[in-house]
Structure 1
Amino acid sequence: MSYSLKPWLLSAVGSIILLNSAQSTAGDTDIKLIAEQPGFYDLIAKHPVAQKIADNGKWVEGPACIAPDTLIYSDVKRNEVMSWSEKDGLKSWLSPADYQNGHAVDAEGRVIAASHGKRAVVRREHDGSWTTLIDSWQGKRFHSPNDVAVAPDGAIWFTDPKFGILSKEESDGTGKPEIEGEFVYRYDPAVKKLSKMNTPDLYTPNGLAFSPDGKLLYVSDAQLGHDVNNKSLQHRIMVYPVNAQQTGEGRVFTEVSPGVPDGIKVDTKGNVWTSSEDGVQVFSPAGKRLGKVLIPAKATANLALCTDAQNRNWMYVTATDRVLRVPVLVKGADTLHK
């Protein structure tokens, strides 16, 4: 059973707020929608039923669809990557997993992973073996690569904050930072060239995603995650024009609260979907918040927008100890890049 409250007008901000709830059934879970702009319901139905895929993780992250009907995600603190499909259910996909975090899939269908344990970006080959693609910058080891995205030209972009290396639960606990600062990098596997992005206004890069045409790069700045009591730290999404192998001058796309933006995805209409403490927030290409999907968990870490073999669109959400599947009405922009 589902219900909705009558909308009311918030004159102070000029927004219409609607709350909807999907009642739990076996295998389902409660979520609530807050629509702040009418266009929100062009992206997600008013009464979605969220399916609970898992609820016993330690800290789940890095969801990615490696096939139309197969999801993988990291349980970072358990040092394991899980897989799920309607056919096979929930299974261990990689264990131990070198504390993998974010995942992406390249044009050849190979999984690209950000590995805290390896302090590297790694790739799963077609024979099941893993290749370390890059693990250092100018002779200094990365901190703990966090998230990855594959650009339309095949280059691998990734973030390297210190979260993993500073956590004894998300790495082997023995590493020390060697690079001053936290950065975004671009690695071209075709020519094995690594470039560090010039982003002086980006303090703690975390999630990242490209616009549908690949000309804009969105990066979450999760600086507040280092000290949640220091309200002067950043909790925003930056956007950069992509000029060949480098980023241009960035600007603030939006601030995100409560909590920090972590994983982000872009849909084919150019809307930006970001995780936050209270769930998933959706912003228009102009940076106006369209609405929220409130997730019943301590914090939401990441999400994936996937299309299955029946052409149904889903949002997979990793939130603290649980993984949810929510039907949506739009495809992820990365489907255009494959």
Structure 2
Amino acid sequence: MRRRDILCGLAASSLWSPPASAAPILRSDDPRFAELVDPSARPVTLYREGRWCEGVCWAPHLGGLIVSDVRSNRMLVIGEDGGVMPFRDPSNNANGNVLDGQGRLVTCEHRTRRVVRRESDGSMVVLADMYGGQPLNSPNDAALAPDGAIWFTDPVFGITVPDEGIQTTPSQSARRVYRIDPAGEILAMTDAVGQPNGIAFSPDGRTLYVTETSAALDNAEGARAILAFPVEERRLGDPRVVASLETGAPDGLAIDEAGRIYAACDDGVRVYLPDGTLLGRIATATPASNVEFGGQDGNRLFISAGSVVAAIDLKVRGAVKAR
């Protein structure tokens, strides 16, 4: 099975909420899960007409929630009033998005195999498209470090999966995590992850979380895990496994104010403590692809899952990101 057969499953053609006889949307694996979300809370569907929604990014100065519909080759913005407007069409099969230290939108593009930054006038600046004189694989997701650097993952999904870019042979010898220094220098930080995907920093910036999704590329025995790297003077130490999944593969990540990890997985959004303790799960009708905190109070969790984008209000806020 190829990546999207594992991660996407059947298309989401029904409402988010399952029938009353189905399993509960909120599943608690630890009593502390009740500290995060009210047992009666339910996700609200914001959008349900995508092909593969990804890259959710809360950007109120740009209109609301930015969403990449990778396979439709477009980006849209969902306003706080629920209205949906085009943002970039075509989008170069854009995937992950993050705001930089000045609030500018940084986007990973599959089709062009680059990381770009949107300026205040709407123009685009290329931050990264080559390493070692060769094109990148297909930048997937990005995170802002406390020092203003942009870190991004570079697996091969955008050059191997149909409809997510232009299929070709990788030019890079490895799949890496890169760092773009505020001055513009591009550094390879690690090639220890077979297919690095989601990426996020702990609130203090001392830990980098990366999802390993090798199992999602025709490799049922490949790794499917959340890894934690200690950040040591802008370098990465040896990773430890926070959690390993038995099926599917973890995708996008979000971190709350206390450092808990929210991972988009094939059965919904799983919530972990940094030591790997599973607190619970917010179930989704189809595999979740990404998560993002936002909203006026910072406690709204946005979830992309196949054709759907939804939101659920929590009792906790997302980690404050460097600006």
TM-score, with structure 2 as normaliser: 0.90
Contact 1:258 1:276 in 2 (8 A): no
Q: List aligned pairs for 1:152-231, cutoff 5 A.
A: 152-173=146-167, 175-188=168-181, 190-200=182-192, 202-227=193-218, 230-231=219-220
Amino acid across the alignment from 2:101: A
Amino acid across the alignment from 1:142: L
Higher strand share: 1
Contact 1:195 1:245 in 2 (8 A): no
- Match for residue 151 of structure 1 among 145, 148, 153: 145
Task: Report the alpha carbon displacement of residue 28 of structure 1 after superposing the two structures with TM.
Answer: 6.8
Percent identity of equivalent pairs: 34
Match of 1:254 in 2: 243
Match of 1:95 in 2: 89
Structure 1: distance between partners of 2:127 and 2:298: 33
Match of 2:12 in 1: none
Distance 1:38 1:234, change over 3 A: same
Task: Report the alpha carbon displacement of residue 145 of structure 1 after superposing the two structures with TM.
Answer: 0.2
Greater CA drift, 286-295 or 191-200: 191-200
Distance 1:312 1:167, change over 3 A: closer
Greater CA drift, 43-52 or 288-297: 43-52
Aligned-partner SS, 1:146: coil
Distance 1:122 1:289, change over 3 A: same
Q: Deviations over 1:38-97 (max 9, x none)?
A: 111111111113111111111111100012771011100000001001236111111000
Contact 1:54 1:323 in 2 (8 A): yes
Q: Deviations over 1:258-290 (max 9, x none)?
A: 310000111111111101111100001211000
Amino acid across the alignment from 1:206: N
Match of 2:37 in 1: 44
What is the count of residue pairs matched by the alignment? 303
Q: Deviations over 1:208-260 (max 9, x none)?
A: 10001000000000000002xx4421000110111222211111111124310
Amino acid across the alignment from 1:177: P
Task: Report the alpha carbon displacement of residue 135 of structure 1 after superposing the two structures with TM.
Answer: 0.4
Distance 1:28 1:295, change over 3 A: closer
- Match for residue 301 of structure 1 among 289, 294, 297: 289
Match of 2:11 in 1: none
Task: Report the alpha carbon displacement of residue 191 of structure 1 after superposing the two structures with TM.
Answer: 1.8
Structure 1: distance between partners of 2:298 and 2:228: 29
Contact 2:16 2:285 in 1 (8 A): no
Structure 2: distance between partners of 1:164 and 1:100: 10
Q: List aligned pairs for 1:62-101, cutoff 5 A.
A: 62-67=55-60, 70-87=64-81, 89-101=83-95
Match of 1:337 in 2: 322
How large is the RMSD of aligned CA atoms in angstroms? 1.6
Match of 1:57 in 2: 50
Match of 1:11 in 2: none
Structure 1: distance between partners of 2:143 and 2:149: 8
Q: List aligned pairs for 1:21-36, cutoff 5 A.
A: 29-30=17-18, 32-36=25-29
Match of 1:326 in 2: 312
Task: Report the alpha carbon displacement of residue 123 of structure 1 after superposing the two structures with TM.
Answer: 0.3
